[in-house]
C-alpha cells in the first residue's frame, strides 16, 4: 500500500474546468505569471482562500481534495504563509507533471463558494 498525504487546493472556475478536462487526475500547467503551484495542508485554509480570494476574483471558488504519494512530497518542505494555520507546499511550475504523476486517485471538489 502506498502512503499518501491529503492536500487541498482552492481554485476558481477556469482552473477547475481544466482539472475536469483531465478526468479529475491532474492540475494544469502553470501560467507564466504563476511560477509556483500552492497546494495547502488543511481544508480550512483552502476554504478561506476560495471564499476570500476566488469568489471576489471570479464569482465562485472551490475547495478540492486529493492525495499525493508521500515519498514524492517528502522532497518539499511545507511552508508557512503568514501563520501556523497557513501551511502550504511550494511546487515549482516545472515540477507540475511529476507532481501530477504522484497524485493517487482523483481530485475531488469538497466545497463550493458561494455555498449552494
Q: How does pLDDT run across 8-35, given as a tens digit for each residue? A: 999 999 999 999 999 999 999 998 899 9
pTM of the model: 0.93
Cα angle at 58 between 37 and 68, to 5 degrees?
Answer: 30
Q: How does pLDDT run across 72-108, given as a tens digit for each residue? A: 999 999 999 877 788 999 999 999 999 999 999 999 9
CATH numbers and ranges of domains, the chain: 4-113 (3.20.170)
Q: How does pLDDT run across 42-69, given as a tens digit for each residue? A: 999 999 999 999 999 999 999 999 999 9
CA distances from 7 to 16, 60, 93, 116 (A): 16, 20, 17, 23
pLDDT score for 84: 75
Amino acid at each position: 500500500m502506498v502512503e499518501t498525504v491529503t492536500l487541498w487546493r482552492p481554485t476558481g472556475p477556469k482552473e477547475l474546468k481544466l482539472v475536469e478536462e483531465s478526468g479529475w487526475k491532474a492540475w494544469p500547467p502553470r501560467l507564466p505569471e504563476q511560477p509556483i503551484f500552492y497546494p495547502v495542508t488543511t481544508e480550512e485554509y483552502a476554504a478561506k482562500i476560495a471564499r476570500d480570494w476566488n469568489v471576489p476574483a471570479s464569482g465562485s471558488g472551490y475547495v478540492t481534495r486529493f492525495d499525493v504519494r508521500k515519498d514524492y512530497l517528502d522532497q518539499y518542505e511545507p511552508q508557512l504563509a503568514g501563520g501556523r494555520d497557513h501551511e502550504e507546499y511550494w511546487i515549482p511550475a516545472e515540477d507540475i507533471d511529476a507532481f501530477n504523476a504522484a497524485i493517487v486517485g482523483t481530485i475531488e471538489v469538497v466545497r463550493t463558494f458561494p455555498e449552494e
